[in-house]
Structure 1
Amino acid sequence: MLNRNTTRTLMALPLCISSVLAVSAQANATAFDSRAFAMGGVGVSSANYLSASFHNPALVARFNQDDGVGLLFPSIGVDANDPEDLIKHVEDFSDIYDEFKQISQPTAADAQLIIDQLTLIQGNSAQVKAGTQFAVAIPNHTLAINIFVQGYADGFVFADIADDDLDINNIINQDLSSQALTMGVVISEFGVSLAKSYKLANAEIFYGVSPKYQNVQTINYISDIENYQFDDWDDDKYQSDDSNMNVDVGFAYQHQGGYGIGFVGKNLISNRYNTQLINGVQAQYQINPTYTVSANYHNDFIVAAIDVQLNESEGYQSLTGTTNAFDTENDNHQMAAVGIELFPQSWVKFRAGYQKDLTDNTDDSITAGFGFSPFNVFHFDLSARYADNNNFGAAIQTRFTF
């Protein structure tokens, strides 16, 4: 069960996925396709034709003879990483400082309690991601098509504590200059995947492309730490908005013996987006090309796959104007994952996986989930990720195939 602080974080950060058409789940190497999520995030060589646009457009052309039009809706996921309990400690500070201000003649001991709380959160950060996806797949041997929209939002909270606020006299005089920052991005995406296949003697080659339109909304909400209100982020003055085109390309090879490989290049057009300048603080968000290779094996009872991202996906860059220097590479990721899917019956599937960030910015995770598909028309998938009590996620989706 989510605790109160985590629930408030998920609600309060700039992650309201219902406010956008879609967002690029690959912008920071996070896909909320529930089947793939349960398998550690693999999908570049193992995704099905309905979810292929979110992993590798080439796989849109890999379908069975009896596969028809498919609909993926809805697909929703959330992911939280607050290793230092920052949200809880910021909330505690607000309460402690309110009590401190009620003291008519505060002592050095009273001020030290405030300093201890500020020291506890100094330099810490928390991150929350959320996403939603929708797709319509039209399998065709001449040209397979998948129309998709995605929603992805990524929010960071930073505690920027001024050194002067760690002085007892300044605390007694109630003269704080520390800040709390919420840096967020909402990336809306709409596209179409086009894919074809070519048969060899004992194998099949697939190749595809996904041209797409992206809208990127950055959020830079800055407030005095004692007055910080999480739900004020949506004021227009904290937001900027940009749009552009981008493209993904993919390739896959599948042998009749059950083994295959895949490659995908995502967001091949690099773009940078500046936030609003608020209280002297500004940052730049970057979407850069990422490349992933994959291998898989499958038979009538099992699917096993491994994905390895070849380069880092970047996020916020060039954060300036803060009291303390923050390492903007802390939100970079380069994921490697292994996953497995077992289907003891045609209508039920069990999944598990393992995920590692090669940058070591996030802890290793285990994933698990299941899916069932009565009559092979309605499909329900549920999955979860766990690293520790402050680092976890979940995804759920329904699919229809006709």
Structure 2
Amino acid sequence: LEDLRGDTARAKAAAGIAVSIPNDTLSVAFVTKAYARAKVSSDIDQNDINYLRSIQNSSAVAGEVAFDALQNGSGQITRNLNSTASGRAAIVSDYGIALAHKFDVGGVPVSVGVTPKLQKTWLYNYTTSIYDYRSGDWKNSQYRNDDTGFNLDAGVAADFGENWTVGLSGQNLVSRDIDTKDIRIINGRTGEVRNYKDTWQISPLVTAGVAWHNELVTLSADGDLTETKGFKSEANSQYVGVGAEVRPLSWLALRAGYRADVKSNDSNVFTGGVGFAAGKHVNIDLMGLYGEDQTWGAGAQLSVAF
């Protein structure tokens, strides 16, 4: 219990598929994607540690507890303990159609895109006594609920000269708050009832970016103009990032970057990646990230043109 106290583990994952049909009049893409965010933490009651230490350090107390367990069952010890473990997770899936068109505005090419989408969200709020915690119980319906709604993404990009591109994107422009299941835990010692409930926040994420590029190098920078929200019980983040890509060969791209949370609520990370072109029709991209507080991750992308 002393080792677990204060520890928290977080994980994020995402996957997506897009089928794009370019066209000079109106480009169309069918998009489905999903992202998941999870957190596991413990709430260790100091009284539990004191109680167990008293058993460890006193033969008289240990004898009383053993006799009580014989009389009332072996679960009598854990019924006197109050520490809990909590697992909260959100899985959000989008199913949309992206529509895009390029305009000429005073000689400046400007591309505009919108993605109306159906959005389904599953929420998990698994909170129980730390002594009864089972990772497989996350999926039980008593801890899970879901919600379905409409949302919208939009973006605009403009090319200035041959080397500069600026862009602005907005994701999830329709705000929505979704409550998890309300879980009740009874304190075995005092009979006190505690309620565990949270709210998942879907809110607009607006990002601005700029890039300088030529045939060999691309340099980019972007920053969020709004905060990234998640569960209401957690602090929000707001990210800025820089990146570079070098293409020494026609079939090879090398990439590096750095992303920071200006709110200092998430780990700052370094990223690295490599891209391969197998002919004119297949591209494979691999990336990894590493940061403070034991943060690491990886990703892969496959693109095929017909």
- Which interval holds the TM-score relative to the shorter structure? 0.7 to 0.9
1:244 CA drift (Å): 0.2
1:196 aligns with 2:111: no
Q: Partner letter of residue 313 of structure 1?
A: T
CA distance in 1, matches of 2:226, 2:5: 30
Q: Partner letter of residue 355 of structure 1?
A: R
1:114 paired residue number: none
2:275 paired residue number: 371
1:138 paired residue number: 21
1:401 CA drift (Å): 1.3
1:362 CA drift (Å): 1.8
1:346 paired residue number: 250
1:237 aligns with 2:142: yes
The structure with more helix, counted as a fraction of residues:
1
2:228 paired residue number: 313
Extract unaligned runs of 5+ from structure 1: 1-117, 318-327
1:297 paired residue number: 212
Determine what percentage of the aligned residue pairs are the same residue: 32
CA distance in 2, matches of 1:267, 1:342: 32
1:186 CA drift (Å): 0.7
1:155 aligns with 2:60: no
What secondary structure, in the 3-state scheme, does the structure 2 residue paired with 1:392 have?
Answer: strand
Q: What are the residue-to-residue correspondences of 1:5-154 with 2, within 5 Å?
A: 118-154=1-37
1:163 CA drift (Å): 3.4
1:302/1:240 Cα in 2 relative to 1: closer, same or farther (>3 Å)?
same
1:69 paired residue number: none
CA distance in 2, matches of 1:352, 1:209: 29
Q: Mark the structure with the bigger radius of gyration.
A: 2
**C-alpha deviations, 1:310-338, integer Å up to 9, x for none?**
12111111xxxxxxxxxx233x2211111
**C-alpha deviations, 1:197-232, integer Å up to 9, x for none?**
112465311111111110011001112112322122
Q: Pick from 273, 278, 291 the counterpart of residue 387 of structure 1.
A: 291
**C-alpha deviations, 1:33-88, integer Å up to 9, x for none?**
xxxxxxxxxxxxxxxxxxxxxxxxxxxxxxxxxxxxxxxxxxxxxxxxxxxxxxxx
Q: Partner letter of residue 153 of structure 1?
A: A
Aligned residue pair count: 274
**C-alpha deviations, 1:103-156, integer Å up to 9, x for none?**
xxxxxxxxxxxxxxx233324321111111100111111111111100111110
The structure with more strand, counted as a fraction of residues:
2
Q: Partner letter of residue 359 of structure 1?
A: K
Superposition RMSD in Å:
1.6
CA distance in 2, matches of 1:301, 1:143: 30
1:341/1:177 Cα in 2 relative to 1: closer, same or farther (>3 Å)?
same
- TM-score, length-normalised on structure 2? 0.85
Q: Pick from 267, 275, 282 the counterpart of residue 180 of structure 2.
A: 275
- TM-score, length-normalised on structure 1? 0.65
